[in-house]
Amino acid sequence: MPITGTKILFAFTALFLSCVCMGKTIRVRPGNNAIKSAIASATHGDTIIISEGTYYEHDVHVTKKLFIAGEGNVVVDGQRKSEIFVLVANGTVLQGLTIQNTGISSMQDMAAVRIQNAQYVTVRNNKILDNTYGVYVQNGSNCLVKDNIIRSGAVSEQNSGNGVHVWRGEHLRIEGNRIAGHRDGIYLEFVINSTIHRNISEKNLRYGLHFMFSHDDIYSKNVFTRNGSGVAVMFSNRVTMTGNVFKNNWGDAAYGLLLKEITDGTIEGNLFERNTVGVYMEGATRIHTSKNTFQNNGWAMRIQASSSNGSFTENNFISNSFDVATNGTMVMNVFKNNYWDKYDGYDLDKDMIGDIPYYPVSLYAVVTEKVPTAMILYRSFLTDILDKVEKVMPSIIPDQLKDDNPVMKKLRL
């Protein structure tokens, strides 16, 4: 096809526009309001390189699409006065900074970085230290929060905020962050079609991750350890939970995973280890729980009578004080092909499936659901007698809650 003059002109125009869109580079050195001044002088598409040093600035509003990056050890200190960065321009990138010391207010949620009514914003490779809120996404879409260290020293829920806080968002990616010392590590409210992946959320006062009214989200390959509770999913639908570690979440009301009023969820390939309760379900409907390992928990699972139409298949239950507890007698969930280390049945036909059902709810689990103070007698001689009598003459445990096909060997998951 011959090259016409019109095509040549179009090609040169496209090349010129691409060069223009790249913008100029502005270098910033420590000084009074140096970052704000650089942003004021920048135009859409520019790059701002912040040189090493400490910058005492707050309420830095980014209203243009800019690439803002630190060079060396760059500290932006809010001096406990207010918010620090407020990103309102689509496509802004903020990376390579240490951002610290927001203000504390009972009237305003003060964040180190606020993404406000914007899309395609990236916040990555920053150290976000000693702030009320770390990264706060307010009505954002297609944003990325990645590979940040977000750490604070919260001592009470009332005077603290969340590491990553999202209020209204869609198609967000929260990946590879290390979050500690906040109220909740990650908090999502009215968030849809988003991914939380490979984060480590630990030592937070309340939850490592907290969903409220959020649908069609996935969280995978995260670690939730030593939090008040690991993860809470509340009033949400179609949440997928795969490949996560819930570990060392201990306390009177501590759970590895708390599910409340949720529908059509998937819990697959996770490790629940050394939690007071591995999974607690209340008002959970059509939850598919498969290929998980429950190990060394107080209760592996506590399934309230309000939960129904769930399936529990091919899970390992190992060294838990109680495998399953419930507060009801009706059975509206299905257990099948799980490994139970307490199963003492036989396999005469050698098909690796137990020939008699396993009843995972022990008598003492029933007693402690009704009389919690009875836990003081756990592992006593009386407990052993009660469980043995119940096996011979079952009368109290929900006898329809059973695994008809318990596997004989630990599953390789």
Amino acid identity at 80? R
Question: Would you put residue 331 in left (φ > 0), alpha (ψ -120 to 50) or beta?
Answer: beta
Identify whether 197 is part of a domain.
yes
State residue 1's pLDDT score: 42
**Using an 8 Å Cβ cutoff, are 43 and 20 in contact?**
no
State residue 18's pLDDT score: 41
Kindly give, in sequence order, each residue whose CB lies less than 8 Å from that of residue 312, ignoring residues fewer than 6 positions away. 289, 290, 301, 333, 334, 335, 336, 338
Identify whether 78 is part of a domain.
no
- DSSP symbol at 374: G
Place of tokens 């969340």: 162
Cα angle: 291, vertex 411, 281; to 5 degrees: 35
Identify whether 246 is part of a domain.
yes
Identify whether 286 is part of a domain.
yes
CA atoms within 13 A on the CB side of 346: 2
Kindly give, in sequence order, each residue whose CB lies less than 8 Å from that of residue 356, ignoring residues fewer than 6 positions away. 345, 346
CATH, residue 188: 2.160.20.10
State residue 85's pLDDT score: 98
Question: Range of 168's domain?
Answer: 83-392
State residue 182's pLDDT score: 97
Identify whether 313 is part of a domain.
yes
pTM for the structure as a whole = 0.88
Identify whether 20 is part of a domain.
no
State residue 20's pLDDT score: 41
State residue 157's pLDDT score: 85
Identify whether 406 is part of a domain.
no
Q: In total, how many domains does the chain have?
A: 1
Identify whether 7 is part of a domain.
no
State residue 401's pLDDT score: 86
Per run of 10 residues, the mean pLDDT along the chain (length 413 residues) is 44 40 87 97 97 98 98 97 97 98 89 98 98 98 98 89 98 98 98 98 97 98 97 98 96 90 98 97 97 97 94 97 84 93 91 92 63 58 60 58 94 91
